[in-house]
């Protein structure tokens, strides 16, 4: 687990008011705090995204739990004034030198096929914010290539602040987000085969693995066991519906080979 060792200030953008910290590994992280205006379930959403990224090999920045210790907070007037509490918060690696993705620079990315995994993830979790917010897709020059990164998973389950009732309503619903970058990717770059690998990885996630993801969420973020049970049930049911979720996206690809996929999964 990361430990915050230096506070570097407020980022200045984002509904959750993320802040920059240096951690004990020497790296800088964008940190979402428990007392953000949307509440601690935002951290639950970010944690789930982080865990899915490890299994599916998604192009999210490296992330995880970071602890802010009480003595560290006490030494910083701005953190005290913001009533930041000691405990576990969520950290995502800060990507310096990045730019927002637009129609013109998307073509430069070497890892466009990974966006099939991001699109499937976002539809799995009903995340519309990836394209509504133009700042949630980044392009960064690394070594000799440009690489796409998807950031900010606060708004999973449509609004971020979910309930047992809202999870139950969303589990069977399906709608397609083809705004901005997602539409460009579907029309010009992605193939049916790009989605197949992510579909199979999701289908390969076991009940035990998904239950463990929920069980490992810090209690201070999600103390209600009934909500944990509902979240687990959502993950299990959406996994079992992933073919249908993917089919809605794949139908939009202007590629004759998509018929082979649809016939196979009918």
Query: Could you tell me the CA-to-CA distances from 172 to 44, 81, 124, 264, 265 in Å, in that order?
Result: 21, 43, 10, 22, 18
Average pLDDT, the chain: 93
Query: Has residue 16 got a pLDDT over 70?
Result: yes
pLDDT score, position 257: 55
pLDDT score, position 145: 95
- Decide which of 130 and 23 is more confident: 23
Decide: residue 222, CB within 10 A, 0-12 exposed, 13-18 middle, 19+ buried: middle
For residue 149, which phi and psi values (nearest 5 degrees)?
Answer: -135, 140
Please answer whether residues 30 and 91 qualify as being in contact, where contact means their C-beta atoms are separated by less than 8 angstroms. Answer: yes
Whole-number Å distance between alpha carbons of 83 and 77: 10
The pTM of the full predicted model, rounded to 2 decimals, is 0.92
Please answer whether residues 141 and 193 qualify as being in contact, where contact means their C-beta atoms are separated by less than 8 angstroms. Answer: no
Whole-number Å distance between alpha carbons of 101 and 104: 8
């Amino acid at each position: 687990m990361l430990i915050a060792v230096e506070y570097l200030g407020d980022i200045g953008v984002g509904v959750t008011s993320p802040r920059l910290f240096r951690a004990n590994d020497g790296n800088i992280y964008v940190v979402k705090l428990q007392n953000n205006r949307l509440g601690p379930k935002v951290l639950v959403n970010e944690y789930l995204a982080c865990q899915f990224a490890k299994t599916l090999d998604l192009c999210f920045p490296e992330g995880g739990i970071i602890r802010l210790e009480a003595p560290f907070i006490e030494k910083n007037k701005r953190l005290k004034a913001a009533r930041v509490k000691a405990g576990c918060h969520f950290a995502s690696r800060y990507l310096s030198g990045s730019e927002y993705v637009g129609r013109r620079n998307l073509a430069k990315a070497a890892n466009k096929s990974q966006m099939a995994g991001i699109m499937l993830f976002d539809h799995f979790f009903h995340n519309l914010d990836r394209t509504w917010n133009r700042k949630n897709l980044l392009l960064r020059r690394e070594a000799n290539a440009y690489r796409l990164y998807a950031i900010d998973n606060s708004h999973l389950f449509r609004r971020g602040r979910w309930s047992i009732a809202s999870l139950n309503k969303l589990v069977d619903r399906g709608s397609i987000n083809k705004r901005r970058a997602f539409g460009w990717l579907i029309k010009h770059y992605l193939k049916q085969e790009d989605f197949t690998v992510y579909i199979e990885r999701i289908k390969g996630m076991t009940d035990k693995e998904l239950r463990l993801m929920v069980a490992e969420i810090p209690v201070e973020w999600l103390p209600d066991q009934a909500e944990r049970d509902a979240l687990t049930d959502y993950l299990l049911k959406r996994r079992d519906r992933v073919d249908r979720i993917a089919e809605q996206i794949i139908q939009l690809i202007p590629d004759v080979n998509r018929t082979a996929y649809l016939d196979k999964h009918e």
